[in-house]
Every structure is written in structure tokens, then in C-alpha cells.
Structure 1
Amino acid sequence: MSNFFSNIFLRNFFKYFYKISHPKSFNHNRRYWPYFSVERNAQGFLDKVFYKNKLIADNTKKNKPINDTCVIIATGPSINEIDMAFFRKQEYDYFGLNGAISLPDTNFKYYVIIDHDFIQNKFNLVTQILENKKCIFFTTPRCLELILRKYPYEEVQCTLQIIETITEKKLERFLGPKIILSQSLNTFDIIEDSNFGFSTEIFNAVYDYYTVAYVALQIAYYLNYKRILIAGLDMSNFTQPRFYETVDDKQPTRLEEDFEAIFLAFNASASFLKKNKVQVINLSINSSIHAFEKDKFQQFI
């Protein structure tokens, strides 16, 4: 108990010291300093992340996929309508989002979580990802900090890669300043003839548009997949539990409130991806996202 209060005292002291010793634009880093440090390349992209002077994430390690098709597994209720054999095919690489780890016997090559509330509330699922030696886990600085409060960094088995997210034109650089995007900043990719972004260099930053599925789409593009199948992208049944939840343990969501921005962002990304010869197929037939071609999972099993 004394160690607990000692740690809380130290954290609060470090936060206060950081606040008074750094400009206001750096305030979001109070929870990271002095435990974390980072290295960036000449372009400012995030290369390496250190925790207590130990390298824990190396974004410079490239992971070129063998397969040309990936499956992004979101968590809409329609997942329960798909034959589980679809999630066990050798010729597809699987991306898990949030609670997708609940699917039995799926070999997740990649995982993406950007929601720190999910880290807090569903940590029993997060630990399954951390213990997967074959998985590359993309997450944010905020999520990483929460994970390492709960889980010894020496015991992390997955490969961590850290991404920084742009939300509402704001980017809080990991141990750097907050950046407000404007038309004068051309460092980040903006889709032609739209007000929406789509990152082609994920370690510069990625756009989130309030859904982890949009982040995963940018990662899949960066990894050079030519065909992207998306399962569970329903966006049409917000009152229902996600496929891995029950009515009693359902977590709240803001997807319904943010749906217009999500809808328009996917529309813009569809145009960009088609132009760049990437086929995206939405396997949720009744999805409210109409940006991509729709098809039944049976065609790919």
C-alpha cells in the first residue's frame, strides 16, 4: 500500500514539474515524462519509443506481408452471422480491432486499439494481445501508458508499434507539441477534393475520425495490401451489444453521435483507395457505410 501511494505521489510531482517547466503546447505529455523518451527521424516521424530507458517499440522494423489480402475485423453484431471458418484462412492476414480477440482460434497478425477507455474497461482482453508473440500491436501513446501501468513491460510478448492520431485537426505529438492542422500545413495527406485526411505514412500520424476501423484502413494501405476485406463494420445497430458483449456488460459508444463525420470520411477514403488500385469490400451487407463494395462472406471462404 505504501508503494502505491509513493507511486501516486511521484506521478503527481512529475506532472506538476513538467507543467511548470514546459510550454502549454506540451501539457498533454505530463503523464509520460520522465518514464518515456522517443526518437524521430529527420522528417519528424516517430521511430522508437523507450520506457525507463528500455526500447519497447521500434517503428523502423518493416513487416512486409506475404499475402495480398487482409481482413479487418471490427466488432459489430454481424460478426456473429459469419462462419468461423472465414476467420481461420491461411491466405488472409487478420487485423483485430478492440474486442475482436474474443474470436476463437483466429491468428491475428496485426491488432489496433486507439481507445484508452477500452484499455481501462476491457484489460482482460488486452492482456491476450500482449501475450501473443506473433502479433504486431499498433496503439497510441495514451493507451501504451495505461497498459504499462497495469502490465510489466518485461512481460510484453507482442511487437509494439506506436502511432499518433489526428482528432478534429489536432495532433498531440508524443513528447512533442500539440499541432493544430490548417490548410497551410501540407505535412499530412489530405484526400483530393475533400476536407478529409488519409495518412500514407502512419508513423507521421494517422487520422481517426472517431473510429479505429478508419485507422486500421490506413495501416493496411501503408502495409501495401491490395485487397482489404472488412467484417463487422455495421454502423447501423448502435443500441445492440458488440459481438463479444452481452446486454449487461455493453460499453457505451459515441458512434451514433459521430456517424456523419465517420460516413463522410469513409466516402472520401473510398475514392482515394480506388484511385490507388486498392479493392475494399465491406462484408457487412446491412452496414450503413456504403462507401465500399459489399459482398457476402461466403464468396471468400
Structure 2
Amino acid sequence: MKSFKFKIKSIRIIIRRRIIKQFIKLTKPKEMKETSGYWPDMSYKDDTLIFRKKEFETTTLDDFTSKEKHETINIIGSGPSVNEIDKNLLQDKANIFLNGAISIAKENKLPILCLIIMDSTFIKNRFDLIKSIEEPCHLFLNLSSACAIAERDPSILEKHKITIFKISKGEHSNFFNHNESYFSKNLNHGIFDGGTVMSVAIQLAFHFSPKAVYLLGLDINNSTEPRFYETKNHKLKSGLLKDYEKKILPFMTLSKKCYKRKNISLFNCSPVSKLPYDIIAYSDIYKKTNTN
């Protein structure tokens, strides 16, 4: 009964959000289009997140990046190749999880530096994964994903630490730029969307100033296959292949240059990645070893 009630509630939320999106499109200035995922329910002012008059404390971007010091950071995406890594090697590490990749943290009792969610569609379709996070952790959210959580269960925003980020188109002095791609120099001025939530994590990790960052699950080639936590009958569409040439490839090329400038090593741990290894070098540091 509870599951049925939640499904009805979710459908109502989705329909209401579609009506709001259409209302903004027809009556508001074009620049308000990006607010359709959270207006009029949520706002963020003076480091306080407000959902329908209820306030939630947040951890600022500066506090988050200045208080966490790590020599190595792992960014764990959802590519099927994650099934082939040795999860034991992620123990006692600073692990950034993306969307549904958080499922392996629970299964393997892995430490969580933060969970990044940029796409509210993930929350709409896999809220069960968000709900199943038992221990308080750090959620790194934009307003649309934060609102999607609050619409379904605001107590989740009370349970976990929250840091809010905003997506920017770049194009000003607070971003490195090359070939129409951008990379944030200052997270307070926004994070560039490089075609994948992995791009948000790469810019965040950069500002922790580690010695090395490892990208896990950055496959792209097999993005039509189920993510490692999905099944063939229960999977979401992926736009990675569509965005690869115009967004992902230019962003990764720029990322390599930014990391090199700061003397941070950046590695791609996917053995089946579409991204050439001369852009981001391959590492098998987390590969399973044959013990037979």
C-alpha cells in the first residue's frame, strides 16, 4: 500500500512540475527557464535552503573544500566497468559517488566524501536509492535535484549534510576556457556542465587540491547498456554518446590541462572507455586481481 501511495504522489509531483515548466515557458522571461525544476517551491539565500518556508542548513562550498584534505580522490560513476573494480581497494579512501553509484557504498561499506546529483530525473526514477542511504552523508546538489528530493521527502535534507552548487555557462573570468568548453576557477561562480555529472565532480575534486584523482566508470562506449546498478528491464536512458563530441571530449581535454597546471594527476580507470587515453591516462590501480 505504501509503495502504491508513493507512486501516486510521485505522478502528481511530475505532472505539477510539467505544468510549472509550461507556465514559465509561456509567461516568464527566457532566463527563468532553468528555474523550472524548483520554482516556486525552493530558494537558496544566505547559505540557507528554503523549501515551502521550511529552512535547511547547508555547508558552503568554501567550507566543504577547505576542511577536507585528501591526497587521493576517487570519482565513481555508473558505467558497467565498475563491476570489474576491486571494491576493497576503495576502503579508507575519499570517494565521490555520482547518482546511483552510491549503491556500492552501502553494499561494500565504503566511505563517502559526497554524493553528487545534478539531474532531477534520476531522483524521479530512482528515489529508492536515495531513500536507502542509512548513514548521514554529504549531498552535493543543485536546486532542481534538491527540490526533487524535498518534494518526495524533505526529511532527507534534514538527515544529510547539504551543499548547493549552481551550473554556469562559463564565459567569464572565473573559468578556464578552451574550444567553447569551460572549467571553474571558483565554485562560488558556478560549475560548468561538461555533458556529464562526472564533469561536476572533476571540477569539485580539483578544488580539494589532492595529488591524484581517479575516474571510475567513465565508460561512455557502453552507455546504452544498463548502469552497473541497473537491470535491462529497469534502466534510464543515457545521453553520453550524443554529448560526447561537442561536450564531453572538449571538457575532458580542458580538464587535463587544468589539472596539469595545478600538478594534480588525473587518471581514467575504465578499461573500455571511449575517451582516448592520450587525453586522460589509463590506470588499472583498482582492477580486480586473479587470485586463483
**Fold agreement, TM-score > 0.5:** yes
Q: Give the alignment partner of residue 148 of structure 1, picking from 147, 150, 153.
A: 150
Structure 1 position 285 matched with structure 2 position 286 = no
Q: Give the alignment partner of residue 73 of structure 1, picking from 63, 72, 76.
A: 76
8 Å CA contact 2:85–2:288 kept in 1: the answer is no
Q: 1:243 to 1:149 in 2, by over 3 A?
A: same
Structure 1 position 223 matched with structure 2 position 208 = yes
Give the Cα separation in 2 of the matches to 1:136 and 1:86. Answer: 21
Structure 1 position 259 matched with structure 2 position 244 = yes
Which deviates further from its counterpart, 155-164 or 54-63?
54-63
Give the Cα separation in 2 of the matches to 1:115 and 1:158. Answer: 18
Give the Cα separation in 1 of the matches to 2:161 and 2:59. Answer: 8
Give the Cα separation in 1 of the matches to 2:50 and 2:163. Answer: 12
Q: In the alignment, residue 284 of structure 2 is paired with which amino acid? A: K
In the TM superposition, what are the counterparts of 1:114-129 in structure 2 within 5 Å? 114-129=118-133
Match of 1:296 in 2: 284
Q: In the alignment, residue 84 of structure 2 is paired with which amino acid? A: E
Deviation at 1:278, TM superposition (A): 0.9
Which 5+ residue runs of structure 2 have no aligned equivalent? Answer: none
Q: 1:33 to 1:74 in 2, by over 3 A?
A: closer
Give the Cα separation in 1 of the matches to 2:248 and 2:129. Answer: 26
Give the Cα separation in 1 of the matches to 2:272 and 2:26. Answer: 52
Q: Give the alignment partner of residue 86 of structure 1, picking from 89, 107, 127.
A: 89
Which deviates further from its counterpart, 59-68 or 244-253?
59-68
Which 5+ residue runs of structure 1 have no aligned equivalent? Answer: 41-46, 170-180
Structure 1 position 25 matched with structure 2 position 31 = yes
Q: 1:78 to 1:60 in 2, by over 3 A?
A: closer
Deviation at 1:69, TM superposition (A): 0.6
Q: How many residue pairs were aligned?
A: 270
Deviation at 1:154, TM superposition (A): 6.8
Which deviates further from its counterpart, 70-79 or 53-62?
53-62
Q: 1:111 to 1:155 in 2, by over 3 A?
A: closer
Identity %: 28
Give the Cα separation in 1 of the matches to 2:184 and 2:62. Answer: 19
Give the Cα separation in 1 of the matches to 2:122 and 2:20. Answer: 26
Q: Secondary structure at the match of 2:132?
A: helix
Give the Cα separation in 2 of the matches to 1:234 and 1:15. Answer: 32
Deviating above 6 A after TM superposition, structure 1's stretches of 4 or more consecutive aligned residues are 7-22
CA RMSD of aligned residues (A): 3.2
In the TM superposition, what are the counterparts of 1:1-301 in structure 2 within 5 Å? 23-26=29-32, 28-29=34-35, 32-39=38-45, 47-51=47-51, 52-59=53-60, 62-63=63-64, 64-88=67-91, 90=92, 92-103=93-104, 104=107, 105-129=109-133, 131-133=134-136, 135-153=137-155, 156-166=158-168, 169=169, 186-191=172-177, 193-260=178-245, 261-290=247-276, 291-298=279-286
Give the Cα separation in 1 of the matches to 2:87 and 2:16. Answer: 48
Q: Secondary structure at the match of 1:297?
A: coil
8 Å CA contact 2:96–2:113 kept in 1: the answer is yes
Deviation at 1:34, TM superposition (A): 4.9
Give the Cα separation in 1 of the matches to 2:24 and 2:228. Answer: 42
Deviation at 1:28, TM superposition (A): 4.3
Q: In the alignment, residue 231 of structure 2 is paired with which amino acid? A: T
Deviations along 1:124-178, one digit per CA (max 9) or x if unpaired, are 011234x431x21111111111111101237631111111113xx4xxxxxxxxx
Give the Cα separation in 1 of the matches to 2:88 and 2:251. Answer: 31
Normalising by structure 1, we get a TM-score of: 0.78
Q: Secondary structure at the match of 1:229?
A: strand
Q: Secondary structure at the match of 1:215?
A: helix
